[in-house]
Structure 1
Amino acid sequence: MNLTRIGVFYDGNYFTHVSNYYNYVHDRKSRLSLSGIHRYITERLAFLEENEVERCKIVESHFYKGRIVASEASEKGNQLYFDRVFDDILSYEGVTAHYQPVKGIVNSRSADKGLNLQMAVDILDLAYNDKLDVVALIGADGDYTAIVNKLNSLGIRVMLISWDFEFTNDDGKRMTTKTSQDLIKSVSYPILMHDRIEEGLEDDDESIQNIFVLPPPDQREERQPRESRTFDSTSVDNSDAKPGEVHESEILSLKTGYGFIQFQPNNLFFHHSNLTNADFNDLYEGDAVKFIVEENDKGELVAKEVELMV
Protein backbone atom coordinates (compact mmCIF):
# COMPACT_ATOMS: atom_id res chain seq x y z
CA MET A 1 0.00 0.00 0.00
CA ASN A 2 1.29 3.49 -0.87
CA LEU A 3 2.55 5.97 1.70
CA THR A 4 -0.06 8.45 2.91
CA ARG A 5 1.58 11.86 3.23
CA ILE A 6 -0.03 14.06 5.88
CA GLY A 7 0.28 17.80 6.37
CA VAL A 8 -0.78 19.14 9.78
CA PHE A 9 -1.80 22.79 9.98
CA TYR A 10 -2.55 24.53 13.28
CA ASP A 11 -4.68 27.61 13.75
CA GLY A 12 -2.38 28.60 16.62
CA ASN A 13 -4.65 31.04 18.43
CA TYR A 14 -7.44 28.46 18.37
CA PHE A 15 -5.15 25.63 19.53
CA THR A 16 -3.81 27.77 22.39
CA HIS A 17 -7.36 28.65 23.39
CA VAL A 18 -8.34 24.95 23.48
CA SER A 19 -5.18 23.96 25.35
CA ASN A 20 -5.86 26.65 27.96
CA TYR A 21 -9.37 25.30 28.41
CA TYR A 22 -8.12 21.79 29.21
CA ASN A 23 -5.34 23.11 31.43
CA TYR A 24 -7.35 25.59 33.48
CA VAL A 25 -11.05 24.75 33.21
CA HIS A 26 -11.51 21.06 32.37
CA ASP A 27 -11.08 18.41 35.09
CA ARG A 28 -8.11 16.93 33.19
CA LYS A 29 -5.98 19.94 34.21
CA SER A 30 -3.33 19.54 31.52
CA ARG A 31 -2.27 21.16 28.28
CA LEU A 32 -2.54 19.37 24.96
CA SER A 33 0.52 17.54 23.68
CA LEU A 34 1.69 18.18 20.11
CA SER A 35 3.30 14.76 19.89
CA GLY A 36 0.14 13.16 21.25
CA ILE A 37 -2.02 15.03 18.72
CA HIS A 38 0.27 13.92 15.89
CA ARG A 39 0.19 10.31 17.01
CA TYR A 40 -3.59 10.42 17.27
CA ILE A 41 -3.89 11.85 13.75
CA THR A 42 -1.73 9.14 12.17
CA GLU A 43 -3.43 6.31 14.06
CA ARG A 44 -6.92 7.59 13.33
CA LEU A 45 -6.17 8.20 9.67
CA ALA A 46 -4.70 4.72 9.30
CA PHE A 47 -7.94 3.29 10.68
CA LEU A 48 -10.18 5.44 8.47
CA GLU A 49 -8.26 4.67 5.28
CA GLU A 50 -7.59 1.02 6.17
CA ASN A 51 -3.87 1.57 5.99
CA GLU A 52 -1.00 0.62 8.27
CA VAL A 53 0.07 3.20 10.83
CA GLU A 54 3.63 2.87 9.55
CA ARG A 55 2.41 3.90 6.08
CA CYS A 56 0.85 7.15 7.37
CA LYS A 57 3.52 9.81 7.83
CA ILE A 58 3.36 13.48 8.77
CA VAL A 59 5.64 15.11 6.23
CA GLU A 60 4.66 18.75 6.88
CA SER A 61 3.57 20.46 10.08
CA HIS A 62 2.93 24.21 10.47
CA PHE A 63 1.72 26.43 13.32
CA TYR A 64 0.22 29.89 12.64
CA LYS A 65 -0.32 32.33 15.49
CA GLY A 66 -0.57 36.01 16.26
CA ARG A 67 1.91 37.02 18.95
CA ILE A 68 2.27 40.32 20.79
CA VAL A 69 5.31 42.35 19.81
CA ALA A 70 8.45 41.96 21.92
CA SER A 71 8.15 45.42 23.49
CA GLU A 72 4.71 44.57 24.91
CA ALA A 73 5.68 41.00 25.86
CA SER A 74 8.62 42.32 27.89
CA GLU A 75 6.13 44.21 30.08
CA LYS A 76 4.10 41.09 30.83
CA GLY A 77 6.15 39.25 33.43
CA ASN A 78 7.68 36.08 31.97
CA GLN A 79 5.85 36.28 28.63
CA LEU A 80 9.04 36.33 26.55
CA TYR A 81 10.33 33.29 28.43
CA PHE A 82 7.06 31.37 27.90
CA ASP A 83 7.12 32.26 24.20
CA ARG A 84 10.65 30.88 23.91
CA VAL A 85 9.72 27.66 25.74
CA PHE A 86 6.86 27.04 23.32
CA ASP A 87 9.15 27.76 20.35
CA ASP A 88 11.46 25.05 21.67
CA ILE A 89 8.53 22.61 21.89
CA LEU A 90 7.49 23.35 18.29
CA SER A 91 11.06 22.87 17.10
CA TYR A 92 11.44 19.59 18.99
CA GLU A 93 8.24 18.24 17.38
CA GLY A 94 9.33 19.36 13.89
CA VAL A 95 6.61 22.00 13.59
CA THR A 96 7.39 25.15 11.60
CA ALA A 97 6.17 28.31 13.35
CA HIS A 98 4.64 31.23 11.46
CA TYR A 99 4.06 34.27 13.68
CA GLN A 100 2.39 37.56 12.93
CA PRO A 101 3.42 40.41 15.27
CA VAL A 102 0.34 41.94 16.88
CA LYS A 103 -0.10 44.99 19.07
CA GLY A 104 -2.78 44.82 21.72
CA ILE A 105 -5.27 41.93 21.48
CA VAL A 106 -3.57 38.85 20.03
CA ASN A 107 -6.71 37.00 18.93
CA SER A 108 -8.19 39.99 17.11
CA ARG A 109 -10.21 39.29 13.98
CA SER A 110 -7.78 41.19 11.73
CA ALA A 111 -4.79 39.19 12.99
CA ASP A 112 -6.63 35.89 12.48
CA LYS A 113 -7.67 36.87 8.94
CA GLY A 114 -4.09 37.50 7.89
CA LEU A 115 -2.90 34.21 9.35
CA ASN A 116 -5.79 32.28 7.78
CA LEU A 117 -4.77 33.65 4.39
CA GLN A 118 -1.13 32.72 4.89
CA MET A 119 -2.11 29.20 5.91
CA ALA A 120 -4.33 28.84 2.83
CA VAL A 121 -1.52 29.95 0.51
CA ASP A 122 0.94 27.52 2.10
CA ILE A 123 -1.51 24.60 1.92
CA LEU A 124 -2.31 25.26 -1.74
CA ASP A 125 1.38 25.55 -2.60
CA LEU A 126 2.02 22.08 -1.18
CA ALA A 127 -1.16 20.70 -2.77
CA TYR A 128 -0.36 21.97 -6.28
CA ASN A 129 3.13 20.55 -6.00
CA ASP A 130 1.70 17.11 -5.15
CA LYS A 131 3.37 16.89 -1.74
CA LEU A 132 0.31 15.93 0.33
CA ASP A 133 -2.39 13.28 0.31
CA VAL A 134 -4.22 14.39 3.45
CA VAL A 135 -4.43 17.75 5.22
CA ALA A 136 -5.11 17.61 8.98
CA LEU A 137 -6.56 20.97 9.99
CA ILE A 138 -6.69 22.01 13.64
CA GLY A 139 -9.26 24.81 13.56
CA ALA A 140 -12.95 25.66 13.72
CA ASP A 141 -13.45 28.83 11.65
CA GLY A 142 -15.89 28.73 8.76
CA ASP A 143 -13.39 30.78 6.73
CA TYR A 144 -11.46 27.55 6.15
CA THR A 145 -14.37 26.07 4.17
CA ALA A 146 -13.20 27.67 0.91
CA ILE A 147 -9.72 26.13 1.12
CA VAL A 148 -11.22 22.75 2.05
CA ASN A 149 -13.49 22.85 -1.02
CA LYS A 150 -10.47 23.60 -3.19
CA LEU A 151 -8.53 20.71 -1.69
CA ASN A 152 -11.51 18.43 -2.36
CA SER A 153 -11.40 19.41 -6.03
CA LEU A 154 -7.72 18.46 -6.12
CA GLY A 155 -8.43 15.03 -4.64
CA ILE A 156 -6.80 15.80 -1.28
CA ARG A 157 -8.70 14.56 1.75
CA VAL A 158 -9.10 16.82 4.77
CA MET A 159 -9.26 15.70 8.40
CA LEU A 160 -10.70 18.33 10.75
CA ILE A 161 -9.62 18.31 14.40
CA SER A 162 -11.86 20.60 16.45
CA TRP A 163 -13.45 21.11 19.86
CA ASP A 164 -16.74 22.55 21.12
CA PHE A 165 -17.06 23.76 24.73
CA GLU A 166 -18.20 26.55 27.02
CA PHE A 167 -15.96 28.58 29.30
CA THR A 168 -15.79 31.69 31.45
CA ASN A 169 -13.68 34.55 30.04
CA ASP A 170 -11.60 37.05 32.00
CA ASP A 171 -14.62 39.32 32.56
CA GLY A 172 -16.69 36.51 34.04
CA LYS A 173 -18.85 36.05 30.96
CA ARG A 174 -20.03 32.64 29.80
CA MET A 175 -18.66 32.10 26.29
CA THR A 176 -19.16 29.31 23.76
CA THR A 177 -16.63 27.84 21.33
CA LYS A 178 -18.27 26.06 18.39
CA THR A 179 -17.04 24.54 15.13
CA SER A 180 -18.54 25.90 11.91
CA GLN A 181 -21.15 23.48 10.59
CA ASP A 182 -20.23 24.41 7.00
CA LEU A 183 -16.62 23.45 7.75
CA ILE A 184 -17.65 20.13 9.27
CA LYS A 185 -19.75 19.26 6.22
CA SER A 186 -16.97 20.11 3.77
CA VAL A 187 -14.22 17.85 5.16
CA SER A 188 -13.69 14.14 4.54
CA TYR A 189 -12.97 13.22 8.15
CA PRO A 190 -14.54 15.47 10.83
CA ILE A 191 -13.10 14.59 14.25
CA LEU A 192 -14.98 16.34 17.07
CA MET A 193 -12.41 15.90 19.78
CA HIS A 194 -14.50 17.06 22.75
CA ASP A 195 -16.72 13.98 22.44
CA ARG A 196 -13.81 11.62 21.84
CA ILE A 197 -11.87 13.00 24.79
CA GLU A 198 -14.79 12.64 27.22
CA GLU A 199 -15.41 9.06 26.09
CA GLY A 200 -11.69 8.23 26.09
CA LEU A 201 -11.05 9.64 29.56
CA GLU A 202 -14.01 7.69 30.94
CA ASP A 203 -12.69 4.47 29.35
CA ASP A 204 -9.04 5.28 30.17
CA ASP A 205 -8.21 5.08 26.44
CA GLU A 206 -4.42 5.30 26.09
CA SER A 207 -4.59 7.19 22.76
CA ILE A 208 -6.69 9.89 24.44
CA GLN A 209 -4.59 10.04 27.61
CA ASN A 210 -1.51 10.58 25.42
CA ILE A 211 -3.07 13.72 23.93
CA PHE A 212 -2.28 15.47 27.23
CA VAL A 213 1.10 16.60 28.50
CA LEU A 214 0.56 15.46 32.10
CA PRO A 215 -0.83 12.19 33.50
CA PRO A 216 -4.31 12.17 35.07
CA PRO A 217 -4.52 14.30 38.24
CA ASP A 218 -4.87 11.26 40.53
CA GLN A 219 -1.57 9.87 39.19
CA ARG A 220 0.50 12.98 39.82
CA GLU A 221 2.65 13.67 42.84
CA GLU A 222 0.84 15.73 45.42
CA ARG A 223 1.93 19.35 45.31
CA GLN A 224 3.42 20.74 48.48
CA PRO A 225 2.21 24.16 49.62
CA ARG A 226 5.00 26.73 49.57
CA GLU A 227 5.75 29.29 52.18
CA SER A 228 4.40 32.55 50.82
CA ARG A 229 4.06 36.05 52.10
CA THR A 230 0.68 36.43 53.77
CA PHE A 231 -1.04 39.28 55.58
CA ASP A 232 -4.44 40.26 56.93
CA SER A 233 -6.21 41.92 53.99
CA THR A 234 -9.67 41.80 55.54
CA SER A 235 -9.07 44.95 57.57
CA VAL A 236 -8.16 47.11 54.57
CA ASP A 237 -11.00 49.18 53.10
CA ASN A 238 -10.53 49.71 49.36
CA SER A 239 -13.76 51.58 48.70
CA ASP A 240 -11.83 54.40 47.01
CA ALA A 241 -9.78 52.13 44.74
CA LYS A 242 -9.48 53.43 41.16
CA PRO A 243 -8.63 51.71 37.85
CA GLY A 244 -4.89 51.59 37.21
CA GLU A 245 -3.88 51.41 40.86
CA VAL A 246 -1.52 48.69 42.10
CA HIS A 247 -2.61 46.77 45.21
CA GLU A 248 -1.54 43.77 47.27
CA SER A 249 -3.80 41.18 48.87
CA GLU A 250 -4.32 37.42 49.00
CA ILE A 251 -6.26 34.83 47.02
CA LEU A 252 -9.63 34.20 48.64
CA SER A 253 -10.88 31.31 46.47
CA LEU A 254 -9.97 29.36 43.32
CA LYS A 255 -12.46 27.99 40.82
CA THR A 256 -12.07 26.30 37.42
CA GLY A 257 -9.84 28.70 35.52
CA TYR A 258 -10.56 31.77 37.60
CA GLY A 259 -10.57 32.97 41.19
CA PHE A 260 -11.25 35.82 43.59
CA ILE A 261 -8.88 38.07 45.50
CA GLN A 262 -9.68 39.41 48.98
CA PHE A 263 -10.52 43.07 48.45
CA GLN A 264 -12.89 45.08 50.62
CA PRO A 265 -15.71 45.93 50.18
CA ASN A 266 -16.08 43.61 47.13
CA ASN A 267 -13.71 40.80 46.25
CA LEU A 268 -12.01 40.97 42.84
CA PHE A 269 -12.44 38.46 40.04
CA PHE A 270 -9.28 37.37 38.18
CA HIS A 271 -8.82 35.05 35.20
CA HIS A 272 -6.02 32.52 34.68
CA SER A 273 -4.81 34.46 31.63
CA ASN A 274 -4.00 37.47 33.82
CA LEU A 275 -1.26 35.73 35.82
CA THR A 276 2.18 37.12 34.99
CA ASN A 277 4.66 34.85 36.77
CA ALA A 278 2.90 31.60 37.71
CA ASP A 279 0.65 28.86 36.38
CA PHE A 280 -2.92 28.99 37.64
CA ASN A 281 -2.78 25.32 38.66
CA ASP A 282 0.12 26.11 41.02
CA LEU A 283 -1.82 28.65 43.07
CA TYR A 284 -3.19 28.10 46.58
CA GLU A 285 -5.89 29.92 48.48
CA GLY A 286 -4.15 32.35 50.81
CA ASP A 287 -1.27 33.09 48.41
CA ALA A 288 -0.20 36.73 48.47
CA VAL A 289 -0.51 38.56 45.14
CA LYS A 290 0.15 41.96 43.64
CA PHE A 291 -2.20 43.20 40.92
CA ILE A 292 -3.59 46.15 38.99
CA VAL A 293 -7.22 47.14 39.53
CA GLU A 294 -9.12 47.63 36.28
CA GLU A 295 -12.72 47.92 35.14
CA ASN A 296 -14.48 45.31 32.98
CA ASP A 297 -17.05 46.24 30.36
CA LYS A 298 -19.74 46.37 33.06
CA GLY A 299 -17.82 48.97 35.03
CA GLU A 300 -16.97 46.43 37.74
CA LEU A 301 -13.50 46.31 39.29
CA VAL A 302 -11.43 43.22 38.46
CA ALA A 303 -7.78 42.25 38.99
CA LYS A 304 -5.34 42.29 36.07
CA GLU A 305 -1.60 41.63 35.76
CA VAL A 306 -1.75 39.37 38.82
CA GLU A 307 1.71 38.57 40.21
CA LEU A 308 2.38 35.85 42.79
CA MET A 309 4.46 37.20 45.68
CA VAL A 310 6.90 34.70 47.20
Structure 2
Amino acid sequence: MQRRTTLTAALSVLAATALVWGSAASAQNAPKIAVTDLAYAQRVSEYFEAGTYQRSSQMSAQGSHSGGYSHGPYSGSGSHSGSHSVQASEQASGTYVAGRYSYIEQRELGGFTNDIKGVLLRGTAFRLVQGKGFDAGAPQPSKAEQVLNQVQGGKMAKPVRQPEVNDIIARIKKGEFNGADYVLFGVVSSVEFSDALSPLQGTSSATRQYGLDLLADFSLIHTKTYEIKAAFSAQGAGNDTKILSHRGDIAPPNRAKVMRETSQSLAQSVFQQLSDQLGYTDPHLSRGVRAPMAVPVPLHGGQPVPQQQPEQVLILR
Protein backbone atom coordinates (compact mmCIF):
# COMPACT_ATOMS: atom_id res chain seq x y z
CA MET A 1 0.00 0.00 0.00
CA GLN A 2 2.81 2.35 0.88
CA ARG A 3 4.57 1.59 -2.43
CA ARG A 4 1.34 2.33 -4.36
CA THR A 5 0.90 5.64 -2.52
CA THR A 6 4.49 6.63 -3.25
CA LEU A 7 4.07 5.74 -6.93
CA THR A 8 0.85 7.80 -7.14
CA ALA A 9 2.53 10.80 -5.54
CA ALA A 10 5.48 10.53 -7.94
CA LEU A 11 3.17 10.39 -10.94
CA SER A 12 1.31 13.44 -9.66
CA VAL A 13 4.58 15.37 -9.32
CA LEU A 14 5.63 14.36 -12.83
CA ALA A 15 2.25 15.37 -14.24
CA ALA A 16 2.40 18.76 -12.50
CA THR A 17 5.95 19.28 -13.71
CA ALA A 18 4.99 18.38 -17.26
CA LEU A 19 2.05 20.78 -17.06
CA VAL A 20 4.31 23.61 -15.88
CA TRP A 21 6.88 22.84 -18.56
CA GLY A 22 4.13 22.62 -21.17
CA SER A 23 2.70 26.00 -20.10
CA ALA A 24 6.16 27.58 -20.16
CA ALA A 25 6.89 26.14 -23.59
CA SER A 26 3.50 27.28 -24.84
CA ALA A 27 4.17 30.78 -23.51
CA GLN A 28 7.57 30.83 -25.17
CA ASN A 29 6.04 29.80 -28.50
CA ALA A 30 3.18 32.31 -28.27
CA PRO A 31 3.05 34.74 -31.20
CA LYS A 32 4.74 38.10 -30.65
CA ILE A 33 2.69 41.15 -31.61
CA ALA A 34 3.78 44.77 -31.94
CA VAL A 35 1.07 47.40 -31.53
CA THR A 36 1.84 50.59 -33.43
CA ASP A 37 0.80 54.05 -32.39
CA LEU A 38 -2.12 55.32 -34.43
CA ALA A 39 -0.91 56.74 -37.73
CA TYR A 40 -2.23 60.19 -38.52
CA ALA A 41 -1.82 62.34 -41.64
CA GLN A 42 -3.25 65.79 -42.24
CA ARG A 43 -2.85 68.53 -44.83
CA VAL A 44 -1.07 71.63 -43.54
CA SER A 45 -0.91 74.99 -45.32
CA GLU A 46 1.60 77.70 -44.49
CA TYR A 47 2.63 81.11 -45.82
CA PHE A 48 6.26 81.54 -46.84
CA GLU A 49 8.54 84.37 -47.91
CA ALA A 50 11.97 84.12 -49.51
CA GLY A 51 13.91 87.21 -50.55
CA THR A 52 17.05 89.29 -50.30
CA TYR A 53 17.11 92.99 -51.09
CA GLN A 54 19.95 95.55 -50.85
CA ARG A 55 19.89 99.27 -51.59
CA SER A 56 22.60 101.93 -51.30
CA SER A 57 22.67 105.61 -52.43
CA GLN A 58 25.24 108.41 -52.38
CA MET A 59 24.93 112.14 -53.11
CA SER A 60 27.44 114.97 -52.90
CA ALA A 61 27.27 118.70 -53.87
CA GLN A 62 29.97 121.38 -54.12
CA GLY A 63 29.68 125.11 -54.90
CA SER A 64 31.71 128.33 -54.88
CA HIS A 65 30.72 131.96 -55.42
CA SER A 66 32.57 135.30 -55.95
CA GLY A 67 31.10 138.79 -56.44
CA GLY A 68 32.06 142.19 -57.87
CA TYR A 69 32.00 145.87 -56.74
CA SER A 70 31.54 149.31 -58.28
CA HIS A 71 32.24 152.95 -57.04
CA GLY A 72 30.23 154.82 -59.59
CA PRO A 73 30.36 155.53 -63.31
CA TYR A 74 33.83 157.12 -63.15
CA SER A 75 35.53 154.68 -60.81
CA GLY A 76 36.65 151.04 -60.85
CA SER A 77 34.39 148.00 -61.03
CA GLY A 78 34.65 144.33 -59.88
CA SER A 79 33.77 140.92 -61.41
CA HIS A 80 31.60 137.91 -60.43
CA SER A 81 32.32 134.18 -60.88
CA GLY A 82 31.06 130.85 -59.36
CA SER A 83 31.19 127.05 -59.79
CA HIS A 84 28.84 124.18 -58.73
CA SER A 85 29.28 120.37 -58.68
CA VAL A 86 26.64 117.69 -57.91
CA GLN A 87 27.23 113.90 -57.79
CA ALA A 88 24.64 111.12 -57.13
CA SER A 89 24.75 107.31 -57.28
CA GLU A 90 22.24 104.55 -56.35
CA GLN A 91 22.46 100.75 -56.31
CA ALA A 92 19.62 98.29 -55.79
CA SER A 93 19.39 94.50 -56.05
CA GLY A 94 16.87 92.06 -54.62
CA THR A 95 14.89 88.86 -54.94
CA TYR A 96 11.51 88.44 -53.31
CA VAL A 97 9.10 85.50 -53.57
CA ALA A 98 6.01 84.91 -51.41
CA GLY A 99 3.09 82.53 -51.49
CA ARG A 100 1.28 79.69 -49.74
CA TYR A 101 2.48 76.10 -49.62
CA SER A 102 0.54 73.01 -48.55
CA TYR A 103 1.89 69.59 -47.67
CA ILE A 104 0.92 66.39 -45.84
CA GLU A 105 2.14 66.22 -42.25
CA GLN A 106 2.62 62.63 -41.07
CA ARG A 107 2.87 61.60 -37.46
CA GLU A 108 1.65 59.13 -34.84
CA LEU A 109 -0.76 59.56 -31.94
CA GLY A 110 0.63 57.81 -28.91
CA GLY A 111 -2.20 58.43 -26.47
CA PHE A 112 -4.66 55.67 -27.47
CA THR A 113 -2.58 52.48 -27.67
CA ASN A 114 -1.72 51.62 -24.07
CA ASP A 115 -5.28 50.47 -23.36
CA ILE A 116 -5.17 48.31 -26.51
CA LYS A 117 -1.98 46.69 -25.25
CA GLY A 118 -3.64 46.21 -21.87
CA VAL A 119 -6.67 44.32 -23.22
CA LEU A 120 -4.38 42.10 -25.31
CA LEU A 121 -2.31 41.26 -22.24
CA ARG A 122 -5.42 40.46 -20.20
CA GLY A 123 -7.45 38.70 -22.86
CA THR A 124 -4.87 36.79 -24.91
CA ALA A 125 -1.78 34.64 -24.52
CA PHE A 126 0.13 36.71 -27.07
CA ARG A 127 3.42 38.32 -26.16
CA LEU A 128 3.77 42.03 -26.90
CA VAL A 129 7.00 43.56 -28.16
CA GLN A 130 7.80 47.24 -28.40
CA GLY A 131 8.41 48.55 -31.90
CA LYS A 132 10.28 51.65 -32.89
CA GLY A 133 8.55 54.95 -33.46
CA PHE A 134 7.87 56.18 -36.97
CA ASP A 135 11.01 57.54 -38.64
CA ALA A 136 9.97 60.60 -40.65
CA GLY A 137 13.40 60.89 -42.31
CA ALA A 138 15.97 63.67 -42.26
CA PRO A 139 14.71 67.23 -41.74
CA GLN A 140 13.94 68.88 -45.04
CA PRO A 141 14.52 72.56 -45.90
CA SER A 142 11.47 74.77 -45.69
CA LYS A 143 9.67 75.93 -48.81
CA ALA A 144 11.15 79.41 -48.40
CA GLU A 145 14.67 77.96 -48.32
CA GLN A 146 13.97 75.82 -51.39
CA VAL A 147 12.69 78.78 -53.40
CA LEU A 148 15.56 81.00 -52.30
CA ASN A 149 18.16 78.40 -53.31
CA GLN A 150 16.41 77.97 -56.64
CA VAL A 151 16.42 81.73 -57.36
CA GLN A 152 20.02 82.22 -56.29
CA GLY A 153 21.41 79.06 -57.89
CA GLY A 154 19.17 79.01 -60.94
CA LYS A 155 18.42 75.28 -60.54
CA MET A 156 15.20 73.54 -59.65
CA ALA A 157 15.53 71.76 -56.32
CA LYS A 158 14.89 68.03 -56.65
CA PRO A 159 12.23 66.90 -54.15
CA VAL A 160 13.28 64.20 -51.73
CA ARG A 161 10.65 61.58 -51.00
CA GLN A 162 9.95 61.22 -47.32
CA PRO A 163 8.87 58.02 -45.56
CA GLU A 164 5.11 57.55 -45.32
CA VAL A 165 3.52 56.66 -42.00
CA ASN A 166 0.84 54.58 -43.76
CA ASP A 167 3.35 52.42 -45.68
CA ILE A 168 3.46 49.63 -43.12
CA ILE A 169 5.28 47.22 -45.46
CA ALA A 170 8.17 49.65 -45.91
CA ARG A 171 8.30 50.19 -42.16
CA ILE A 172 8.43 46.44 -41.53
CA LYS A 173 11.24 46.03 -44.08
CA LYS A 174 13.05 48.96 -42.47
CA GLY A 175 13.20 47.05 -39.19
CA GLU A 176 10.86 49.14 -37.05
CA PHE A 177 9.25 45.97 -35.64
CA ASN A 178 12.15 43.56 -35.24
CA GLY A 179 11.26 40.49 -33.21
CA ALA A 180 7.51 40.70 -33.89
CA ASP A 181 5.59 37.98 -35.71
CA TYR A 182 2.62 40.25 -36.30
CA VAL A 183 1.97 43.99 -36.33
CA LEU A 184 -1.35 45.47 -35.25
CA PHE A 185 -1.35 48.61 -37.38
CA GLY A 186 -3.89 51.38 -36.77
CA VAL A 187 -4.69 54.47 -38.85
CA VAL A 188 -6.88 57.32 -37.63
CA SER A 189 -9.84 57.86 -39.95
CA SER A 190 -11.74 60.55 -38.08
CA VAL A 191 -11.39 62.65 -34.94
CA GLU A 192 -14.38 64.75 -33.93
CA PHE A 193 -14.72 66.97 -30.89
CA SER A 194 -18.16 68.16 -29.81
CA ASP A 195 -19.37 70.88 -27.47
CA ALA A 196 -23.15 71.06 -27.01
CA LEU A 197 -25.19 73.32 -24.73
CA SER A 198 -28.76 72.19 -23.98
CA PRO A 199 -31.03 74.47 -21.92
CA LEU A 200 -33.23 72.77 -19.33
CA GLN A 201 -36.86 73.62 -20.00
CA GLY A 202 -38.54 75.77 -17.36
CA THR A 203 -35.28 76.66 -15.59
CA SER A 204 -32.33 78.95 -16.05
CA SER A 205 -29.97 75.97 -15.92
CA ALA A 206 -28.39 74.11 -18.82
CA THR A 207 -26.34 71.02 -19.52
CA ARG A 208 -23.03 71.26 -21.33
CA GLN A 209 -21.63 68.10 -22.90
CA TYR A 210 -18.10 67.80 -24.22
CA GLY A 211 -17.32 64.75 -26.30
CA LEU A 212 -14.70 63.06 -28.44
CA ASP A 213 -15.33 60.46 -31.14
CA LEU A 214 -12.39 58.59 -32.64
CA LEU A 215 -12.57 56.18 -35.57
CA ALA A 216 -9.55 54.12 -36.62
CA ASP A 217 -8.84 51.34 -39.14
CA PHE A 218 -6.79 48.36 -37.95
CA SER A 219 -4.97 45.51 -39.67
CA LEU A 220 -3.13 42.54 -38.18
CA ILE A 221 -0.26 41.82 -40.59
CA HIS A 222 2.26 38.98 -40.63
CA THR A 223 5.77 40.43 -40.70
CA LYS A 224 7.20 37.69 -42.93
CA THR A 225 4.47 36.98 -45.47
CA TYR A 226 2.57 40.32 -45.14
CA GLU A 227 -0.63 38.29 -44.89
CA ILE A 228 -3.55 40.14 -43.30
CA LYS A 229 -5.08 38.08 -40.49
CA ALA A 230 -7.68 40.64 -39.43
CA ALA A 231 -8.98 43.97 -40.72
CA PHE A 232 -11.65 46.11 -39.10
CA SER A 233 -12.69 49.59 -37.99
CA ALA A 234 -13.00 50.43 -34.29
CA GLN A 235 -14.62 53.41 -32.63
CA GLY A 236 -14.01 55.01 -29.28
CA ALA A 237 -16.06 57.70 -27.59
CA GLY A 238 -15.92 59.69 -24.39
CA ASN A 239 -17.89 62.57 -22.91
CA ASP A 240 -18.11 64.86 -19.92
CA THR A 241 -21.48 66.35 -18.96
CA LYS A 242 -21.89 69.27 -16.59
CA ILE A 243 -25.05 70.93 -15.29
CA LEU A 244 -24.66 74.71 -15.20
CA SER A 245 -26.64 76.76 -12.72
CA HIS A 246 -27.05 79.54 -15.29
CA ARG A 247 -26.99 79.18 -19.05
CA GLY A 248 -24.35 81.85 -19.55
CA ASP A 249 -21.87 80.28 -17.14
CA ILE A 250 -18.65 78.72 -18.37
CA ALA A 251 -17.20 75.51 -16.92
CA PRO A 252 -14.00 73.95 -18.30
CA PRO A 253 -14.38 70.33 -19.44
CA ASN A 254 -12.61 67.41 -17.85
CA ARG A 255 -10.50 66.61 -20.89
CA ALA A 256 -8.56 63.85 -19.15
CA LYS A 257 -11.81 61.99 -18.43
CA VAL A 258 -12.93 62.33 -22.04
CA MET A 259 -9.60 61.07 -23.38
CA ARG A 260 -9.56 58.12 -20.96
CA GLU A 261 -13.09 57.00 -21.84
CA THR A 262 -12.31 57.28 -25.55
CA SER A 263 -9.15 55.21 -25.19
CA GLN A 264 -10.83 52.50 -23.11
CA SER A 265 -13.87 52.12 -25.37
CA LEU A 266 -11.59 52.00 -28.43
CA ALA A 267 -9.53 49.22 -26.83
CA GLN A 268 -12.63 47.15 -26.05
CA SER A 269 -13.86 47.50 -29.63
CA VAL A 270 -10.44 46.44 -30.99
CA PHE A 271 -10.29 43.35 -28.77
CA GLN A 272 -13.82 42.23 -29.58
CA GLN A 273 -13.43 42.50 -33.34
CA LEU A 274 -9.91 41.06 -33.37
CA SER A 275 -10.92 37.98 -31.37
CA ASP A 276 -14.00 37.44 -33.57
CA GLN A 277 -12.07 37.59 -36.84
CA LEU A 278 -9.22 35.37 -35.68
CA GLY A 279 -11.74 32.58 -35.15
CA TYR A 280 -12.36 32.59 -38.91
CA THR A 281 -8.93 33.41 -40.34
CA ASP A 282 -6.42 31.58 -38.13
CA PRO A 283 -7.33 28.84 -35.60
CA HIS A 284 -3.78 28.89 -34.23
CA LEU A 285 -4.04 32.55 -33.28
CA SER A 286 -7.62 32.10 -32.13
CA ARG A 287 -6.46 29.58 -29.50
CA GLY A 288 -4.44 32.35 -27.94
CA VAL A 289 -7.58 34.33 -27.11
CA ARG A 290 -8.87 33.58 -23.62
CA ALA A 291 -12.53 33.22 -22.74
CA PRO A 292 -14.29 36.57 -22.21
CA MET A 293 -13.95 37.75 -18.66
CA ALA A 294 -17.02 38.99 -16.87
CA VAL A 295 -16.90 42.65 -16.05
CA PRO A 296 -17.05 42.99 -12.24
CA VAL A 297 -19.86 45.08 -10.86
CA PRO A 298 -18.55 47.50 -8.22
CA LEU A 299 -20.23 46.97 -4.85
CA HIS A 300 -20.48 49.19 -1.81
CA GLY A 301 -21.88 47.65 1.36
CA GLY A 302 -23.20 44.69 -0.62
CA GLN A 303 -25.16 46.92 -2.97
CA PRO A 304 -24.25 47.92 -6.56
CA VAL A 305 -22.70 51.34 -6.85
CA PRO A 306 -25.08 53.67 -8.71
CA GLN A 307 -23.91 55.05 -12.03
CA GLN A 308 -22.13 58.37 -11.96
CA GLN A 309 -24.46 61.30 -12.49
CA PRO A 310 -23.56 64.40 -14.52
CA GLU A 311 -21.47 66.81 -12.54
CA GLN A 312 -23.39 69.85 -11.36
CA VAL A 313 -21.50 73.12 -11.45
CA LEU A 314 -22.77 75.95 -9.28
CA ILE A 315 -21.16 79.33 -9.87
CA LEU A 316 -21.63 81.75 -7.00
CA ARG A 317 -22.19 85.35 -7.92
* TM norm. shorter chain > 0.5: no
Query: TM-score, with normalisation over the residues of structure 1?
Result: 0.26
Query: TM-score, with normalisation over the residues of structure 2?
Result: 0.26
The answer to which structure has the higher helix fraction is 1
The answer to which structure has the higher strand fraction is 2
